[in-house]
C-alpha cells in the first residue's frame, strides 16, 4: 500500500488541458501504481489557471476520500496575516499540514514572518514541509532553503514536526550531515528518483546510500512522495523498492509513517 505525500495538480506537465483533467489523470496514475492516497500540494502561486491554488484544490477534490491537501501561506505577499486562516482550515480538516516555499520565494525558513505559523503548528501538532534544493531556472535561490536554517527552526520549535522535501539536492550528503542530530526532522522523498536530480546529486548509488543512512537514523520519519506530475511516480516507487530494507521498513516509508505524521485515515 502506497501513499504519495507530494503531488501537484497542474497542467504544465503532460497533456492535461484543464485542472479537472489533471485531477482525472492523477487518479488514473494513482490507480496504475497502486497508490491509494495522495497529498496534493497547492502551489503558492495564486490565480494561475495552470496550477491549482488552495481554494481551487479544495473544490476540485470534494468527495474524494483518498485525497488530502497541504496549505501554503503567502509569506512575501501577506506575511504572518494568514495564521488564523490556516489554523481554521486545519481544524476543519481541510488541510493536513503547511508547506513553505523558501527558494521559490525569497525568504529564509527562519524569517520572522514564518514564526507565528510555526508556533501554531507546534501547538496543534501540524507538520510543516519545506521545499529545498536547486531551482533549475535560478540556482541563486537555493541559498534560501539551505537546511542549516531548517535545523534552526527545528531546534527553536523542538516539538514541531519539520519535513524536508527534495533533500536539498544536489547537496544531499551535506543535507544529511547537517540535519543528522536534529530529532524532529522528517524527510519526504519527492524528486529523489528524478533523472536530473540523480545526475546532479552524484548518481543513484549515492542517493541510495544517503537514503539508507537516513532511514537507519529515523525509520519512522521518512515518507514517500514523488512531485508528480513533474516527476514519475513509478521511478520513485522503484527507488524505494530497490533499497536494501526489510518489508516492514518499506511499509513504513510507503504508508505507515505518513499516516502517523499527517493523521490520515488508516488504509484497509
Q: Interface residues with Zn ion (CB under 5 A)? A: 227
183 to 94, 154, 157, 161: CA distances (angstroms): 28, 8, 11, 9
Supply the minimum distance, in Å, between the C-beta of residue 101 and Zn ion. Answer: 9
C-beta of 4 vs 227, nearer to Zn ion:
227
Grid look-up 543535507 returns 175
Whether residue 191 contacts residue 231, with contact meaning beta carbons closer than 8 Å, is answered with: yes
Supply the minimum distance, in Å, between the C-beta of residue 145 and Zn ion. Answer: 13
Q: Beta strands 162-165 and 2-7: pairing type? A: unpaired
C-beta of 204 vs 230, nearer to Zn ion:
230
Whether residue 216 contacts residue 228, with contact meaning beta carbons closer than 8 Å, is answered with: no
Supply the minimum distance, in Å, between the C-beta of residue 188 and Zn ion. Answer: 10
Supply the minimum distance, in Å, between the C-beta of residue 138 and Zn ion. Answer: 16
C-beta of 146 vs 227, nearer to Zn ion:
227
C-beta of 87 vs 104, nearer to Zn ion:
104
d(CA 125, CA 265): 16
Supply the minimum distance, in Å, between the C-beta of residue 230 and Zn ion. Answer: 7
C-beta of 29 vs 227, nearer to Zn ion:
227
What residue spans of 180-232 are helical by DSSP H? 195-200, 203-217
81 to 35, 46, 131, 243: CA distances (angstroms): 36, 16, 21, 43
| Furthest C-alpha separation in the chain | 46
Amino acid at each position: 500500500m502506497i501513499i504519495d505525500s507530494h503531488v501537484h495538480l497542474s497542467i504544465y506537465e503532460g497533456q492535461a488541458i484543464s485542472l479537472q483533467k489533471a485531477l482525472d489523470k492523477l487518479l488514473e496514475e494513482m490507480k496504475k501504481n497502486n497508490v491509494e492516497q495522495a497529498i496534493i500540494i497547492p502551489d503558492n502561486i495564486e490565480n494561475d489557471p495552470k496550477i491549482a491554488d488552495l481554494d481551487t484544490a479544495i473544490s476540485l477534490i470534494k468527495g474524494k476520500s483518498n485525497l488530502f491537501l497541504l496549505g501554503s501561506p503567502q509569506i512575501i505577499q501577506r506575511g504572518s496575516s494568514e495564521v488564523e486562516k490556516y489554523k481554521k482550515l486545519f481544524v476543519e480538516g481541510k488541510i493536513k499540514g503547511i508547506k513553505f516555499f523558501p527558494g521559490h520565494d525569497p525568504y529564509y525558513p527562519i524569517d520572522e514572518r514564518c514564526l507565528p505559523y510555526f508556533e501554531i503548528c507546534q501547538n496543534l501538532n501540524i507538520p510543516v514541509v519545506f521545499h529545498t534544493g536547486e531551482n533549475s531556472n535560478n540556482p541563486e535561490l537555493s541559498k534560501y532553503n539551505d537546511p542549516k536554517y531548517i535545523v534552526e527552526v527545528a531546534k527553536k520549535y523542538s516539538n514541531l514536526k519539520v519535513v524536508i522535501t527534495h533533500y536539498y539536492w544536489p547537496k544531499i550528503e551535506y543535507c544529511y550531515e547537517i540535519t543528522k542530530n536534529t530529532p524532529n526532522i522528517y524527510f519526504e522523498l519527492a524528486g529523489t528518483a528524478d533523472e536530473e536530480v540523480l545526475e546532479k546529486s552524484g548518481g543513484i548509488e549515492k542517493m541510495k546510500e544517503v537514503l539508507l543512512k537516513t532511514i537507519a537514523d529515523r525509520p519512522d520519519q521518512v515518507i514517500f512522495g514523488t512531485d508528480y506530475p513533474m516527476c514519475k511516480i513509478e521511478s520513485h516507487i522503484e527507488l524505494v523498492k530497490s533499497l536494501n530494507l526489510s518489508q516492514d521498513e518499506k511499509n513504513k516509508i510507503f504508508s505507515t509513517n505518513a499516516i502517523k505524521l499527517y493523521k490520515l485515515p488508516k488504509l484497509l
